[in-house]
Amino acid sequence: MTTAARRPATLDDVARAAGVSRSTASRVLAGNGFASSTARERVRTAVSLLGYVPNAAARALVHGSGVRLLVAVAGTGPAVLDDPYVDQAVAAVARACAPHGLGVAVQWVPVDAPERLTRLTDDRGVAGLVLLNTTTDLLDLVPRRLSGRTVSIGIGSATVPSVDIDNGGGTSAIVRHLYEAGRRRIAMVTGPRWLACANRSVRAYRRLLHDAGLPAREVVGDFSAARGHAAAREVLRRWPDTDAIVGISDATALGVIGRLRADGVRVPDDVAVTGFDDIPLAATVALTTASHPVRQIINTAATMVLEERAAPATTVFPSTLVLRESA
């Protein structure tokens, strides 16, 4: 037990140790205002000697700036938070925040009651906002206090910047690949209708089939493996001659494959299956999918919020087709 009952040092301690006033110490640390080189030096040594770490709460209090980022996830129920994608986003944001002395919180916002966001942002503790599964409603509810401190992962607006994936392009590439591989009866397990990014995928799918003179075969899913599992059966019940199933996500595709295999349907021989995202496990089960630099996307978002260089603009990350055995 090397740790004494030592009280973390305050700026007063530092100032005293350096033989200057608190104001001077503060000025040195802030780096603005005047300070002689000797004062600067003495304060710096005192800081490292005492292991001084500024009190984020006090700083936030005087600046009125808040003390954590809020990851707000729109969804139909609190279960949206039970999602590895959300986990990943939260963790990535947390990692980016740590050096800034900020924390992260996650909250769910009902799709059909977006105004609940206001209750969350009324908390002065919220220093910034990361929007997930963003809807246009939500974008309009971002308070002015947090503009320039908000990034949407997905769609953006004139006031809210965003980082996004080229869902349309990715899905087009997948469907085109299936078509070129000779598949003609291509079904899709979609995402929830209210979700913009899912809709872009669905629209791309429809467009391509339409242009090829083929009918669309859609079953609504929700990104989950469990739903994919159920949806696979529904697809084959409604359109037994289906020879390819496009999953809105890798999890969906994995669920689909699980069901098909269990039902004795061969993948890809009888039915080709594709995913979307290229999660680590996709490689393991040889899933054809579209790859996105998810980590990089989330980091970009987190950085934008933290650096406050969040000019209202959309950064779109490309989608790369990854060919594996499942299609």
- Contacts to a copy of itself by CB under 8 A: 1-3, 5-9, 51-53, 55-58, 60-61, 66-69, 71, 81-82, 84, 86-88, 90-92, 94-95, 97-98, 101-107, 115, 118-119, 122-125, 140-145, 225, 251, 254-255, 257-258, 280-281, 283-286, 295
CA dist., res. 104 & res. 106, Å (int): 7
Which of 220, 204, 194 is closest to 170 using CA atoms?
Answer: 204
What is the smallest separation between the CB atom of 63 and DNA, expressed in angstroms? 6
9 secondary structure, DSSP code = P
Cβ atoms 133, 100 nearer than 8 A:
no
Mapped onto helix, strand or coil, the DSSP state of residue 305 is helix
**Cα–Cα dist 37/200, whole Å:** 58
45 binds DNA per the rule CB under 7 A: no
30 binds DNA (CB under 7 A): yes
Q: Which is nearer to DNA, 1 or 62 (CB)?
A: 62
The backbone region for 93, taken as left when phi is positive above 0, alpha when psi lies in -120 to 50, beta otherwise, is alpha
- Residue 86 and residue 51 in contact, taking contact as beta carbons nearer than 8 Å: no
**Pairing outcome for strands 126-132 and 289-291:** unpaired
Which one of DNA, a copy of itself, none interacts with residue 143, CB within 5 to 8 A by kind? a copy of itself
Length of the chain: 327
Nearest CA-CA partner of 257 in 288, 278, 279: 288
Strands 320-322 and 289-291: antiparallel
Q: Which of a copy of itself, DNA, none binds 81 (CB below 5-8 Å, type-dependent)?
A: a copy of itself
Query: Of 58 and 323, which CB lies nearer to a copy of itself in the complex structure?
Result: 58
- At 273, which helix (H) or strand (E)? strand 272-274
Among a copy of itself, DNA, none, what binds residue 254 when CB lies within 5 to 8 Å by partner kind? Answer: a copy of itself
Asked if 37 interacts with DNA (CB under 7 A), we say yes
Interface with DNA, residue 210, by CB under 7 A: no
Question: Is 39 a residue that touches DNA (CB under 7 A)?
Answer: yes
Dist. CA 18–CA 4, nearest whole Å: 23
Closest separation in Å from C-beta 50 to a copy of itself = 9
Q: Is the Cβ of residue 8 or residue 215 nearer to DNA in the bound state?
A: 8
Nearer to a copy of itself, 124 or 238 (CB): 124
Site residue total, DNA (CB under 7 A) = 30
End-to-end CA distance of the chain: 58
Question: In the complex, what is the shortest distance from the CB of residue 192 to DNA, in angstroms, rounded to a whole number?
Answer: 37
Q: Which among DNA, a copy of itself, none contacts residue 118 (Cβ within 5 to 8 A by kind)?
A: a copy of itself
User: With binding defined as CB under 7 A, does residue 311 bind DNA?
Assistant: no
Q: Which residues bind DNA (CB under 7 A)?
A: 10-12, 20-24, 26-27, 29-30, 32-39, 52, 54-55, 58-59, 61-64, 124
